[in-house]
Amino acid sequence: MESDFVLPPRFSLNSPYLADYFGIWSVYEPVFRAIADRCNGMNLVSHMQSSEVRAAVNERDHRAYPVTKDGIAIFAVQGPMMKAVPSLEAGTSTVRLRQQIRDAKRDPEVLAAILMLDTPGGTVKGNADLAADVAAFAATKLIYAFTEDMTASAGVSIASQATKRYSNNESALYGSMGTYSVLYDESGLAERVGVKVHVVRAGEFKGMGEAGTQITEQQLTELQRIVNSLNDGYLQLIATGLKRPVEQIRAMADGRIHIAADALKMGLIDGIQTYDQTYQQLVAEVASSKPPSQKPRSQNMADQKVPATLAELKVTFLKSTADWRESQLEAGASLSESAVSYAKHIEAKAEEAEKVHAQSLETAKVEAKANAAKEAEEAAGKRAAAGGALGHKPVTARGARGGNLADKDEYVESGDAVEDFNAAVRVVAGSNPGLDKRQRAVRFVASKNPDLYQAYLLSTNPGKRQSRLIAEKLESVGIRR
């Protein structure tokens, strides 16, 4: 029997946990290098003792998971995954997420769940435990994994435990399965500067890789053994979750990250669709499923059209209304007949909700178009009054000739947020950049000029709901207006 989740003594989540940063990571390499670069030159101890950092970590630690009116729990898996709440990035605590998943599993009001994933992976510590809790939830209730743009490395082992897996678009990134480590042989450099490093050890492999020492074949063999062992456990998690032979997974785990369209062909995900489609699919699957605990009568009794009691209707159809249950009692409907009626009832509500949603989208489009026109007119007036000056803060291009993007011949403000943002990215990335270089350029321009970046996102994603999601997304990564 599963017990309540209890934290070990002296293990606190609501304060940064320094040792996490120096453990073994299972993460998409470009993102990890960015995190490492950010740490270079930083006084990490002072950073973690900062009152602002502690307040931000404490707020994320106590953030509750939402449960929708349909009984769907939403779990956010965003940023790097670590055991304690990350301080450098708005990441995810695997320990806190495990607590939430166990709570939702026991909660009778929670009928299913969605894992919202946008993560490069995280530390090896805590990953297998989180995967086990996701698998335990999936054994009793439906849980979908939905990728918003990226699920990599340790994130794949978590998503693989879900009932089904989906990505938001064909270009979303999924994979980076594999394990590697690096040892730097700096003995030649030490010799050239006249340094001789002596490692006094008790144990043949203690001090392996110490700066200035020579890396031996035996040490490389030992490191390969560790890498193979970690990789075997990681691949076994994925294979178990996907119910596929581990050798099939091993053949695909070459370290590459794939776009979702290729991940779908490889069988790593089940489809590419929007979040709304995924949510409605899960709600429909919950409504059509009838767990044994919700079937107090035998199938023979249902076949005999024995009228259902009020208690049975409440247990079997948890989200039903009092009016609907009263209608079934008056009709003398059996459980099987009530199931048909309830399905039609839910379908009618879904159709009505779709109509309301479509109408609200149309209204939002009209309002967004009117607001955009008004804002463009006001911006044009301000630019004219300022003599054509930039409508936003100039972005400094590191190493760029002239210093500011505003000084570059290639960057001329048009007044259109999309054109201005793309022009700024081209200045930083250069002509014909690769995907990785363009992504770095986008992140650079966004961090230097969040106002322009938010205007770009809002221009390409109109609507009140999209505006709210964009604002929440930017705030979660530290970009606020």
Tell me: do 462 and 402 sit in the same domain. Answer: yes
Encode pLDDT of 314-331 as tens digits.
778 877 888 888 888 888
State whether 30 and 153 are in the same domain. yes
Please tell me the total count of domains within the chain: 3
Residues 35 and 134 placed together within one structural domain of the fold = yes
pLDDT tens-digit map of 25-48: 777 777 767 766 666 666 666 655
Average pLDDT, rounded, for the chain:
78
- DSSP of 174-241: EE-----------HHHHHHTT-------SSTTTTTT-TTSPPPHHHHHHHHHHHHHHHHHHHHHHHHH
Tens-digit pLDDT profile for residues 92-126: 889 889 999 999 999 999 999 999 999 998 888 88
Phi, psi of 121 (to 5 degrees): 115, -155
Position 37 in a domain:
yes
Residue 22 sits in the same domain as residue 164: yes
155 to 30, 336, 339, 392: CA distances (angstroms): 15, 41, 38, 37
Q: What one-character-per-residue DSSP string does 390-441 give? A: -SSPPPBPTT-TTSBGGGSTT----S-HHHHHHHHHHHHH-SS--HHHHHHH
pLDDT of residue 89: 60
Residues 272 and 298 in one domain: no
| Tokens, residue 458 | 């809002």
The label of the residue with tokens 């450099």 reads: 189
Contact at 8 Å (CB) between 99 and 5? Answer: yes
Residue 444 lies in a domain: yes
Q: What is the rounded distance in angstroms from the CA atom of residue 478 to the CA atom of residue 455?
A: 16
Question: Maximum CA pair distance of the chain?
Answer: 95
pLDDT score at 398: 42
Q: Please identify, among 328, 354, 380, the residue that sits at the C-terminal boundary of a domain.
A: 354
Residue 459 lies in a domain: yes
Place of tokens 């990890």: 32
CB 285: neighbour CB atoms within 10 A? 14
Co-location of 430 and 397 in the same domain: yes
In a domain, 347, yes or no: yes
Same domain, 262 and 139: yes
Degrees (nearest 5) of the Cα angle 78, 79, 85?
A: 90
- The answer on 270 and 334 residing in a single domain is no
In terms of domains, do 262 and 148 share one?
A: yes
Reply yes or no on whether the pLDDT at 295 is more than 50. no
Q: In terms of pLDDT, which residue wins out, 89 or 228?
A: 228
Query: Across residues 60-65, what is the average pLDDT?
Result: 64
What is the extent of the structural domain holding 439?
A: 390-476
Does one domain contain both 58 and 136? Answer: yes
Res 403 pLDDT > 50: no
The helix/strand/coil state of 145 is strand
Under the banding of pLDDT at 50, 70 and 90, the label for residue 226 is: confident
The last residue of one of the domains, among 300, 328, 354, is 354
Q: What is the pLDDT of residues 361-400, one digit of tens each?
A: 888 888 877 887 777 667 655 544 543 334 444 444 443 3
Q: Is residue 203 part of a domain?
A: no
- Residues contacting residue 392 through CB under 8 Å, at least 6 positions apart: 420, 449, 451, 452, 455
Per-residue pLDDT at 410: 47
The verdict on residue 349 lying in a domain is yes
More confident residue, 17 or 264: 264
Residue 212 is predicted with a pLDDT of 82
> Is the confidence at residue 408, as pLDDT, over 60?
no
Whole-angstrom CA distances from 286 to 159, 219, 242, 282, 290 are: 19, 53, 21, 6, 8
242/59 Cα distance (integer angstroms)? 35
Pick from 333, 354, 375: which residue ends a domain? 354
Give the CATH number of the domain where residue 277 resides.
3.90.226.10
**pLDDT classification of 286: cutoffs 50, 70, 90:** very high
Residue-wise pLDDT tens digits, 299-316: 443 444 678 888 778 778
- 164 forms beta bridges with 144
Predicted pLDDT at 413: 61
Quick one: 397 and 335 in the same domain?
no
Residue 57: name the closest of 67, 49, 68, 65 by CA.
Answer: 49
- Do residue 23 and residue 153 come from a single domain? yes
Asked whether residue 185 is assigned to any structural domain, the reply reads no
Whether residue 11 is contained in a domain is answered as no
Q: 452 to each of 110, 129, 367, 423, how far by Cα in Å?
A: 40, 41, 21, 11
